[in-house]
Structure 1
Amino acid sequence: MAIVHSTRVYNWYISMVAASCMVLYGYDASVYNSVQGSSNWVNYFNKPAANVIGAVNTAYTVGAIVAGFFLGGPIADRFGRRWGMGIGCFLTIIATFIQTFAPRHSIGTFIAGRAIIGIGQGIALTAGPIYIGELAPPEIRGKVMSFWQLFYSVGSFLAYWINYACQLHVAKLGEWDWKIVVIFQIMVPIYILVLLPFIPETPRWYLQHGDRVDDARATLRRVRETEQEVEDEILMIREALEFEKEAISSSYSALWKDRSVRKRLILAFILNAGQQVTGQGTLNTYSTIIYKGVFKSQSQISLINALNATFGIIFTLNATWTVDRFGRKFLFIVGAIGMAVCMLAVALVGTKTETIYYLSKGVSKPTKAEPVGIAITFLLFLFIFFYKPSWGATTWIWTAEVFSMNVRAQAVGMASQTQNVANSIFQQFFPIFLANCGFSTFYFFFAINVVLAVFVHFMIPETRRVSLEEMDVLFGGADHVEKGADLLHVEDAHHAVPVQENKGSSIEANEIEVSSAVPTKTV
């Protein structure tokens, strides 16, 4: 039986701490979907109109977009990836209390809390995937990053099951049937804040800020198996940084100066926007409304949402054994085709079966026969089976790994928040789309997924097992490692002087490794 090295175990541990930031996103995305079904929440805020309910959702996305485009990158670059995660978690805790204890009928206070939580999560969701991508070795980077999406499903799982339990005891809980769901959101950010001081910063951040070789080496020794791997990686990072500083730009201006980076940013925008218009973004926000068209009981709908989140965890696990084995491109294409088939089937079942009407409080409401409802539910679960390991997990993996160090934090923040840009735009008109077209709406999602499969086939290169420092070559850019090695007059761009050749004490050996691997430029 193969023995797992202790450094690999530690790498997984610190990656899971960072991935827990995604629990915040998954929980919050499901919270608002859940509380909309609580009559106590509706009454507490004086039965808000449809446009106000939309504003509650929009407040979060606007906050997240602002943070992703203007705050997340600068904070993660200036203060470090850990500080980015910590600040995001702190704001999430503050915003949770604001929402939970908003004064009665003060929907504006609740909306303010939603905006702050969006800012906090926008900051945390920028720093988290960068942290994982910069510490995970290339051969398992995709597998480790797949847990980023898995933890989204964990957050959704927690929110929906807590909501389901509260729905079963509405009479006893009263208005706390929704407040409990909201306040439980502080659990995970507190857990992350407790652990953050005890995990290391990334070596790339240390080398990018003051060329702190000793700190970078200390971090790498905790996550790499051999001293040679540590020295090789330090060498490659320094070479890439040197080229980016000398030949491109050490600032965010490289986002538009470097043609290769521009191309990646556009592709990342399309992939992240595409993730939300597959149909998943709509299911996250409006599954309760969709299921009301086929089921009568609110507790039954809450149970379906909870089961959906549970299966989401199981389905995302498929990414852990497929993403590094078959590659990112394969998962994108297979996932898009599978989702397209599911959306087409939902549209056909929904439009070609009879609609039944029943009276509820004197109002005639449409529904479907129970077998039809079960069929539609099964198809939407099957949709999640295809979505989670592909466009769910792989979009984050691809986005976090393709950018060079000088722009990585800002580019990841901007690209990931394109999800919220697309989501906020589409969710504004989806309820009207659904009200006017019914299940014919799902033909739209079928077409979108077909287009996405074709786009990936022709436009997206495979990034499996490519080191972060050499990613630029895939997109028509220069090899930052090779070019940096030329600037630093290093003979072997990929390997430092073998560690075993160095003699003397450990302190002397370390000094020799740095000086011989990365010679100082002559002026």
Structure 2
Amino acid sequence: MVSTKRAYNWYISLVASSCMVLCGYDASVFNAVQGSKNWIAYFNKPDSQTIGAINTAYTVGAVVAGFFFGGPLADHFGRRMGMVVGSVLVVIATFMQAFSPRGNIGCFIGGRVLIGLGQGVALTAGPIYIGELSPPEIRGEVMSFWQMFYSVGSFIAYWVNYACSKNVPTLGEWDWKMVVMFQLLVPIIILAQIFFIPETPRWYIQRGNRIEDARQSLQRVRDTDQEVEDELLGIYEAVRFEKEAISSNYSALWKDASVRKRMYIALILNAGQQITGQGTLNSYSTIIYKKVFKSSSQIALINALNATFGIIFTLNATWTVDRFGRKFLFIVGGIGMAICMVIAATVETQTPSADGAKTTSVGIAIVFIMFLFAFFYKPSWGATTWIFTSEIFSMNVRAQAVGMCSQTQNVANSIVQQFFPTFLDNCGFYAFYMFAGINALLAAFVWMWVPETKKVSLEKMDTLFGGTNHVEKGAEIVGTVNSHHMTLKSVQLDDGGKGISTNMTRA
């Protein structure tokens, strides 16, 4: 039976995971509104290059925030504050998009940039928060909900869009404005709960050496006092070593060979997540399906069903990621996605069209293959990329590294999104053969270069990648004899990490 504290650990993790709903909703909302004739007319029939620019505007904002603002904000003001700032920016941007003056595509694009900034900040703080409060034995399981909440965002966006598409005569221009406005729902929920959940113990110790605050935070999510004291001492020892021996600025990401190796791997995995083809499907499935189906409401229904099944598919990560491991899911997912892309491209390009659309049977076959693609993607390159990225970095560089690596998704996505509409116009479904090749290469990369990280504690992750064990080195500095049977009673530590005074007693 799940204990009360373990249930509470799940609750606070789900609050943080709600940040991913923001991303999933926004990644889907523009895809959804592209099918609205009222939206097209409202902004004077934007061409394919403008459509690409609207998508790119969001990713530019997210990249800037993730690379330069998200990490420092989460480090200096806390993981919770990062989620707050991101949510507030999303609220402001939602009003900018929904109430852009008629024909003023610039205002709409400005809202997309601002919403990207908000999500870049929130998506840096959220996974760090979950990773730092989840116990190692269920960290992968808990983090799998991070990606599942992306699917929840898509689910809300596409079903709201489907409902609006069935009532266009009644709603008029509100058929797309309503879809945009529903984005207010989740940031308001986050803001209503964020100050009732604890800050992470690692942040308390890193910023101001607030040992008692860190202890109280852990006491809310760990079952026994011994668990609290063991973890608290391990965190303290790691942070102490990092303060004395390692830089905490951006240069630290490249100076240490172990951290540098993790950066290279995480950057490739995060970029790979977006060039599997899933990012393109999220943004352009409406115009992709227009090559197969004629009915806008039918396409809206397919998108909504895809988002619904995406939630179910992502849940597969909750029971597989800590059982079979991260590496297994990456490889199986990459191979499965490659096969799906080959089949989809072959079916569409090698079958006849009638009146500009495929036959019903061909259309159903393509939709089935796209759903099967999501079945492979969601628990693997969808969920596992976030899990792996949030857990592999040491405390001194975690916020900066997670912010930069996660926003590499948007760097890769912005490149693909900018040229894909033109690529699709010129090459049709032959473009999917490119994604098949990419997915096969990603699976090979993981097999050769990515180590397994399941059930490894955050403080011991450095050793796995060939680096120094920060806990052991910190224990040497502190003078701890047996860190698993000690209680951290009192510590004084100045800003420079010098002049420590400790009182260690056996538990």
* Residues 235 and 496 in structure 1, CA contact (< 8 A), matched pair in contact too: no
For 1:448, the aligned partner's letter is I
Counterpart of 2:421 in structure 1 is 431
Distance in 2 (alpha carbons) for counterparts of 1:463 and 1:211:
28
Shift of 1:430: 1.4
Residue type at the aligned position of 1:105: G
2:223 equivalent in structure 1 = 225
Quote how far apart the aligned CAs of 1:245 are: 1.7
CA–CA separation in structure 2 for the residues paired with 1:111 and 1:446: 32
Aligned to 1:390: 380
After superposition, where does 1:489-504 map in structure 2 within 5 Å?
Answer: 489-493=479-483, 495-497=484-486
C-alpha distance in 2 between matches for 1:517 and 1:415: 40
- Taking the TM superposition and a 5 Å limit, the aligned residue runs for 1:73-472 are 73-356=71-354, 358=355, 366-472=356-462
Check if 1:37 corresponds to 2:52: no
Secondary structure in structure 1 of the residue aligned to 2:504: helix
Cα contact 2:32–2:161 (8 A) shared by 1? yes
Q: 2 CA distance for matches of 1:410 and 1:419?
A: 15
Q: Which residue of 1 aligns with 2:23?
A: 25
Contact 2:276 2:435 (C-alpha < 8 Å) held by counterparts: yes
Q: Once the 2 structures are TM-superposed, how far is the Cα of residue 517 of structure 1 from its aligned partner?
A: 5.5
**Deviation of residue 204 (structure 1)?**
0.1
Alpha-carbon deviations, 1:250-270, whole Å to 9, x = none? 333211111111111111110
In the aligned structure 2, how far is the partner of 1:468 from the partner of 1:456?
21
Report the alpha carbon displacement of residue 49 of structure 1 after superposing the two structures with TM.
2.7
1:474 paired to 2:472: no
Q: TM-score, normalised by structure 1?
A: 0.93
- Match for 1:515: what amino acid? N
For 1:260, the aligned partner's letter is S
AA at the equivalent of 2:419: F
Tell me if structure 1 keeps the 8 A contact 2:327–2:447.
yes
| Separation (CA, whole Å) in 2 of partners of 1:325 and 1:186 | 37
CA contact (8 A) 2:165 2:175 kept: yes
Equivalent residues of 2:70, 2:399 under 8 A apart? yes
Partner amino acid, structure 1, of 2:415: I
- Amino acid aligned to 1:450: A
Residue 307 of structure 1: how far off its partner (Å): 0.2
Find out whether 1:515 has 2:503 as its counterpart: yes
Structure 1 counterpart of 2:265, one-letter code? L
The aligned residue for residue 363 of structure 1 is: none
Could you tell me how far apart the structure 2 residues matched to 1:193 and 1:177 are? 27
Residue identity over aligned pairs, in percent, reads 70
Q: Is the 8 A contact 2:310 2:378 kept in 1?
A: yes
Separation in structure 1 between the aligned mates of residue 64 and residue 462 of structure 2, nearest angstrom: 28
Compute the displacement of 1:432 (Å): 2.1
Q: TM-score, normalised by structure 2?
A: 0.96
Match of 1:515, SS?
Answer: strand
Using the TM superposition, give the Cα deviation of residue 488 of structure 1 relative to its aligned residue in structure 2, in angstroms. Answer: 1.2
Aligned-partner Cα distance in 2 for 1:340–1:86: 38
CA contact (8 A) 1:239 1:488 kept: yes
Contact 1:19 1:128 survives alignment (8 Å): yes
Aligned length: 495
* Shift in CA distance, 207/354, structure 1 to aligned 2, threshold 3 Å: same
**Per-residue deviation, 1:52:** 2.1
Provide the rounded CA distance (Å) in 1 between the counterparts of 2:372 and 2:22. 25
**SS of residue matched to 1:405:** coil
Q: Distance in 1 between matches of 2:419 and 2:46?
A: 18
The CA deviation string for residues 318-352 of structure 1, in whole angstroms up to 9 with x for no partner, is 00000011110010011111111111111111122
Contact 2:487 2:505 in 1 (8 A): no
Question: What CA distance in whole angstroms lies between the structure 1 residues aligned with 2:288 and 2:47?
Answer: 19
Report the CA distance between 1:419 and its aligned residue.
0.4
**How far, CA to CA, are the matches of 1:427 and 1:97 in structure 2?**
24
In the TM superposition, structure 1's runs of 4+ consecutive aligned residues that sit over 6 Å from their partners are none
Q: Could you tell me how far apart the structure 2 residues matched to 1:52 and 1:249 are?
A: 43
| Paired AA for residue 504 in structure 2 | S
SS at match of 2:263: helix
**Mapped contact 2:48–2:422 kept (Cα < 8 A):** no
| Equivalent in the alignment of 1:506 | none
Shift of 1:496: 3.7
Distance 2:202 2:458 in 1: 11
| Residues in 1 aligned to 2:505 and 2:53: alpha-carbon distance in whole angstroms | 56
Query: Partner amino acid for 1:447?
Result: G
Q: Distance in 2 between matches of 1:113 and 1:328?
A: 36
For residue 428 of structure 1, what is the amino acid of its counterpart? Q
Q: 1:490, 1:517 within 8 Å by CA — same for their partners in 2?
A: no
1:61 Cα deviation from its structure 2 partner = 0.6
1:147: how far off? 0.2
Q: Distance in 1 between matches of 2:75 and 2:235?
A: 16
CA-CA distance at 1:225 after TM superposition: 0.6
The 8 Å contact of residues 53 and 418 in structure 2, kept in 1 or not, is answered as: no
Runs of 5+ consecutive residues of structure 1 not aligned to the other structure: 359-365, 503-513, 519-523
- RMSD of aligned C-alpha atoms? 1.4
* Alpha-carbon shift at residue 491 of structure 1 (Å): 1.2
Please give the residue correspondences for 1:57-72 in structure 2 after superposition, counting only pairs within 5 Å.
Answer: 57-72=55-70
Deviation, structure 1 residue 236: 0.6
- Report the Cα distance in structure 1 between the residues aligned to 2:207 and 2:110, rounded to whole angstroms: 35
Report the Cα distance in structure 1 between the residues aligned to 2:80 and 2:420, rounded to whole angstroms.
37
Q: Which amino acid aligns with 2:486?
A: V
Q: Cα offset for 1:490? A: 1.1
Q: Distance in 2 between matches of 1:412 and 1:491?
A: 33
Once the 2 structures are TM-superposed, how far is the Cα of residue 242 of structure 1 from its aligned partner? 1.5
Structure 2: tracts of 5 or more residues without a match: 490-501
What SS does structure 2 have at the residue aligned with 1:516? strand
Q: CA deviation at 1:498?
A: 6.7
